[in-house]
Amino acid sequence: MPAQSQNSVALITGAARRIGAQIARTLHGAGYDVALHCRHSRAELEALIAELESTRAGSTLALQADLTDSACLPQLIENAIARFGRLDALVNNAATFSPTSFGSITSQQCDDFFAVNARAPLLLSQAAAAHLRRSCGAIVNIIDIYAQHPLPHYMAYCMSKAALAMATLALAQELGPEVRVNGVSPGNVLWSEQPIKAETMVTLVERTALKRQGSPQDIAGAVLWLLRDAPYVTGQILRVDGGRGLTL
């Protein structure tokens, strides 16, 4: 058995960039050791790990895998255990996001959305369950406000996130009382890298109660709260959207 880390340990998928990287920085800053997963963004992941290691040596692990390959998912958990000897938190952040116009949606697109956005979080949670039970740990799934409200031109994506929302509730029921499971549904906190935008700055301001875009820090702070500071919260999906959901 590996020597057990004296710190809490979190595995974060899709951790190299954007919201995932901020979650990694926030949890690491709060004292977590972190196992950080990427698919293609290895250079960005290595840079993030170097940044975190400069503040606390021996506190990170790099993991690379294609989450559409379900056979590799248990190994991600085992690699984290082999490195740190424990697992206290799983943050299912990785997602695939792209438009799918009705009338031309393919079965492969559907398979890819559901594989990454719904199946992988479920199977990773299943693989991690025994370790999380031992530590009385927690899972946070990053969902989307559009899991409950359809976003034009993104039907397949919305469906997959709705599946993740239901998995969050079912996992909370299944894994209690030892493991808490919650979700965070971001609103607009970063501009999409897709050419077809869901919102413009004008529509964002018009439709959001706080009249501004959020930030990755807003999401990361919510994740930390659910993992560390909410011991009687499970089976909840927290909207962090500046009130955007009020007008959907």
Catalytically active residues are: 157
Rounded-to-integer distance, Cα 49 and Cα 137, Å? 23
Contacts of 127 (CB under 8 A, 6+ apart): 73, 74, 76, 77, 78
Helix (H, G, I), strand (E, B) or coil at 5: coil
Find the length of the chain.
248
Q: At what angle do helices 18-29 and 42-53 cross, to 10 degrees?
A: 20
Q: Give the burial class of 186: count Cβ atoms within 10 A of its Cβ; 0-12 exposed, 13-18 middle, 19 or more buried.
A: buried
Rounded-to-integer distance, Cα 202 and Cα 97, Å? 22
* Contact by Cβ (8 Å): 8, 89: yes
First to last CA, the chain: 50
Pick from 6, 35, 33, 19: nearest CA to 223: 19
The upper half-sphere exposure of residue 203, i.e. CA atoms within 13 Å in the direction of its Cβ, equals 9
Q: At what angle do helices 120-135 and 155-175 cross, to 10 degrees?
A: 20
